Amino acid sequence: MSTLRFHAVKASLKRKPLKIKEDKRRSEIFGSNVFNEVAMRQYLTKTSLNSVLEAIEKGTKINRLVADHISTGMKEWAISKGATHYTHWFQPLTGATAEKHDAFFETIGDGLAIEKFGGNQLVQQEPDASSFPNGGIRNTFEARGYTAWDPTSPAFIYDKTLCIPTVFVSYTGEALDFKTPLLRALQVVDNAAVAVCKYFDKNVKSVRTSLGWEQEYFLIDTALAISRPDILLTGRTLLGHSPAKGQQLDDHYFGTIPARAMSYMRDLEHQCMLLGIPVKTRHNEVAPNQFELAPIFEEANLAVDHNSLLMDIMQKTAKRHSFTVLMHEKPFAGVNGSGKHNNWSLSTNTGVNLLAPGKTPMSNLQFLTFFINTIKAVQTHEELLRASIASASNDHRLGANEAPPAIISIFIGDQLTKVLGELETVTKGKLSPKEITDLKLNVVGKIPEVILDNTDRNRTSSFAFTGNKFEFRAVGSTANCAKPMTVLSTIVANQLKEFKVEVDELINSKSMKKDDAIFNVLREYIKTSKAILFEGNGYSEAWEKEAKKRGLSNNKTTPEALQIKKAKSTIALFDNLGVMNKVESEARYEIEMEDYIHHIQIESRVIGDIARNHVVPTAVRYQNILIENVTGLKTIYGDQFKDFAKAQLVLIKEISEHIETINTTVTKMTEARKVCNKEASLEKRADGYCNRVKPLFADIRYHCDKLEIMIDDELWPLTKYRELLFTK
């Protein structure tokens, strides 16, 4: 008997749901571990409070003297909550969060000590940047990097540590994190959107980007997860025969949440409430042991921070419940993978959602302006948007029949397609009074009714309009939302700036009225953006052919998708808008290519190890049992033994063939890896791992999975899919 596997199954079956105390309403505890406005009013002076609020609302800088007062109040609040340490909490380009803890402790001589935390410690620190990805921005021996306080994202206490959200930059000022470009992009889209909003409402002073993410994940008992080297080292299963039952009965989706999972969710949600993460929705997802949680929409920067924090909380909370959380986009073959849909919109300081129609033709024209400009932005930069969600893990999910394909398209529904069709026929130049009246009454005026009846979603569309927002459905479950949000905000900002230039040109040089000019520009955008609109089945070969005719990219792998990031047009786009300079853009391309190579390299080593050190020895052991059985039959029956040992002899032969193919393929894969590692070019290394190393995984898996269903179950060492997916 395979000791580890069966002990793991036995241990998992003995688990009981933990009892979670919830003695207070969630509204009472929400944000109680966050240094929010309520806490600041209690611990800060009026001057300090106003400085922080102005920094949040207007982006003004906080001087060091005021920072000293803020840090004192923040320290007192944190200590009153039991905190003993503080840390600058940041998001380096590893995809995870980072922190270095320092104590509120300092000696003052004579054996005495005090709690100390000053403005300098709050505003800036110098963590060692030598081991973080930098893409050639700095040399390894140049270890200095800076973290700088981001007051727009409130400090919080987690595990008795005051965590201060910060940006992370190099000694020479280049961004080494996800947050810095995101903050720049949000500022750029704010400025561009405000300028366009002035056509409709002079009172608009700021536009905030809102984000609502949906986090999908799998829960696997920790003992079962540890029994699988592939899960432990790569976050997914590299081998495993599909069980007789998978998700084909659709009995897990929205079903009753298993007791242990419910206990975990309640505990997780309690932690989220304390930290001000407004989680609202929880449910079973499509695949067995797959779940989802989603929050209420928030300002994008805060939403990104909350999602990054949540992924850390999920793992830590899971340990208390003897669970391992799998966030890999495709941890199991044959069942749905996991995504992180990013629901995106823009809202003004006056409380108007720019992607929601209003009660008047003017507000609906404003809606159409931002709606069509977003479509135009995606049409122009669809390849860059695809690159923003590219990763080795998401490659497994995109196009796998439960997720959008790698082709970026926009779904807006039949009704809105008709609206755009009618707007496309608007007269070029000045509109007649009758045409303006007809547009306002029968087209623009009826948009709210159209959207009300058009709530269906196309699951094969990567970018779908869903009533008052766009849902970027292709984002992977492991992704940092800052990447797609930075790109989306940047391309929309660029498009809005171009739109304003074109409208102003028609108003100033053609003496057009504002509405006439807006309709004229929107009409041309509709014509040039048709290629990106698609309402049909994104999985069909017909759509792939059609997309190619339309000039849309179909970059199915990460190395293909990332090439647009080093294009001159891309670098110029980010540089001109001040989101990322050339060095920062090129660094991210290099980091993401290296990350892809390393992921495939690790998976290659792991699958080779499991195949040769777990599967093949087990197959040989079972084969020896069969040989012993055949030898015994020969001893008993003599020359007639073949009549009684036909099945065993066939099994012995088939096992030998599978073993031979596995060993040959693993050797071939190892040699291919060696060749790739010697390639000087980053592109050639990535291409080699993608097209020469990775395809061999499927061959190795096929033969290992065949052995799994041939070999005695009690001998098989790897926890099986039926145990991983159906142990509750």
Q: What is the pLDDT of residues 348-396, one digit of tens each?
A: 999 999 999 888 888 899 999 999 999 999 999 999 999 999 999 999 9
Q: How confident is the model at residue 129 (pLDDT cuts 50, 70, 90)?
A: low
Task: Report the residue count for the chain.
Answer: 728
**What gap in Å lies between CA 346 and CA 369, rounded to an integer?**
12
Tokens matching residue 511: 């003496």
What is residue 437's predicted lDDT score, i.e. its pLDDT? 80
Nearest residue to 162 (alpha-carbon basis) of 73, 33, 309: 33
Buried b (16+ CB within 10 A) or exposed e, 274-296: bbbbbbeebebbbbbbbbbbbbe
pLDDT band at 458 (very low <50, low <70, confident <90, very high): low
pLDDT score, position 142: 57
> What band does 1 get if pLDDT is binned at 50, 70 and 90?
very low
Instruction: Give the pLDDT mean for 205-228.
Output: 96
* Bridge partners for 476 per DSSP: 339
pLDDT class of 540 with cuts at 50, 70, 90: confident
Q: Which two tokens stand for residue 395?
A: 């490659």
> Bridge partners of 170?
145
pLDDT in tens, 610-640: 999 999 999 999 999 999 999 998 888 888 8
| Separation between Cα atoms, residue 305 and residue 49, nearest integer Å | 22
3-state secondary structure of 332: coil
Give the tens place of pLDDT for each residue, 660-673: 999 999 999 999 99
CA distance linking residue 310 with residue 317, whole number of Å: 10
What is the structure's pLDDT at 642?
82
pLDDT-wise least confident of 53-62, 112-121, 702-711: 112-121
Q: What is the pLDDT of residue 87?
A: 95
Query: Residue 228's pLDDT is what?
Result: 96
| 40-46 own/partner pairs: CB under 8 Å, 24+ apart | 40/73, 42/77, 43/73, 43/74, 43/76, 43/77, 44/69, 44/70, 44/73, 45/69, 45/73
User: What's the rounded mean pLDDT across residues 148-156?
Assistant: 94
Give the contacts of 190 (CB within 8 A, at least 6 positions apart): 206, 207, 208, 209
The pTM for the full model equals 0.94
Across 298-309, average pLDDT: 97
Degrees to nearest 5, angle at CA 299 with 296 and 304 = 85
Q: Which residues contact 723 (CB under 8 A, 6 or more apart)?
A: 5, 9, 12, 224
Report percent pLDDT > 90 for the chain.
Answer: 74
Using the 8-state DSSP alphabet, how is residue 719 labeled?
A: P
Q: Where are the beta strands (DSSP E) in 405-514?
A: 410-411, 463-465, 470-472
> E strands along 466-576, which residues?
470-472
Inter-residue contact 686 to 639 (CB < 8 Å)? no
* CA pair distance 623, 615, nearest whole angstrom: 12
Structure tokens at 293: 């949680």
Average pLDDT over residues 291-316: 97
List strands edge to edge, sheet with 298-299. 298-299, 207-213, 342-348, 470-472, 463-465, 410-411
- 8 A C-beta contact, residue 500 and residue 198: no
Helix extents (H) in 381-481 = 382-387, 394-397, 414-424, 433-438, 447-452
List helix spans (H) across 388-481.
Answer: 394-397, 414-424, 433-438, 447-452
Lowest-pLDDT range of 469-483, 503-517, 595-609: 503-517
Between helix 259-274 and helix 300-320 the angle, nearest 10°, is 130
Among candidate residues 213, 84, 86, the one with its CA nearest the CA of residue 155: 86
Residue 326, SS3? strand
Higher pLDDT, 483 or 170: 483
Residues 182-206: tens digit of each pLDDT: 999 999 999 999 999 999 999 999 9
Task: Tell me what the mean pLDDT of segment 454-476 comes to.
Answer: 83
CA 456 to chain centre: 24
**Tell me, what's the pLDDT at 75?**
93
pLDDT confidence tier of residue 143, bands split at 50, 70 and 90 = low
Helix (H, G, I), strand (E, B) or coil at 697: helix
Which pLDDT belongs to residue 452? 63
Q: Six-digit token pair at 698?
A: 């499927």
Are 698 and 611 in contact, with CB atoms under 8 Å apart?
A: no
Domains of the chain with CATH codes? 31-176 (3.10.20.70), 186-580 (3.30.590.10), 595-725 (1.20.120.1560)
For the cut 60, the answer to whether the pLDDT of residue 259 exceeds it is: yes
Backbone angles phi, psi at 281, to 5 degrees: -115, 140
What does the mean pLDDT of the chain come to?
Answer: 92
Q: What is residue 35's predicted lDDT score, i.e. its pLDDT?
A: 96
pLDDT digits (tens, 9 = 90+) for 491-524: 999 999 999 999 999 999 888 899 999 999 999 9
* Cα separations in angstroms, 488 against 192, 211, 316, 562, 586: 13, 11, 31, 16, 19
- pLDDT tops 50 at residue 11: yes
Q: What DSSP line would sit under 234-257, residue for residue?
A: HSS-S--PPPS-SSTT--STT-PP
**Which pLDDT score is estimated for 192?**
98
Q: Is the pLDDT of residue 651 over 70?
A: yes
Is 166 within 8 Å of 88 (Cβ atoms)? yes
CA geometry: angle 658, 660, 662, nearest 5 deg: 65
What single DSSP character describes residue 532? G
Instruction: Reply yes or no on whether the pLDDT at 483 is more than 50.
Output: yes
How far apart (Å, rounded) are the C-alpha atoms in residues 265 and 542? Answer: 42
Q: Where are the beta strands (DSSP E) in 30-134?
A: 85-89, 101-103, 106-109, 112-114, 124-125
314-343 pLDDT tens trace: 999 999 999 999 999 999 999 999 999 999
Residue 610 is predicted with a pLDDT of: 98
Q: Which of 234, 231, 95, 338 is nearest to 601 (CA)?
A: 234
More confident residue, 605 or 643: 605
Is the predicted pLDDT of residue 713 greater than 70, yes or no? yes
Half-sphere exposure in the Cβ direction for 87 (13 Å, CA): 18
**Whole-angstrom distance, CA of residue 707 vs CA of residue 651:** 10
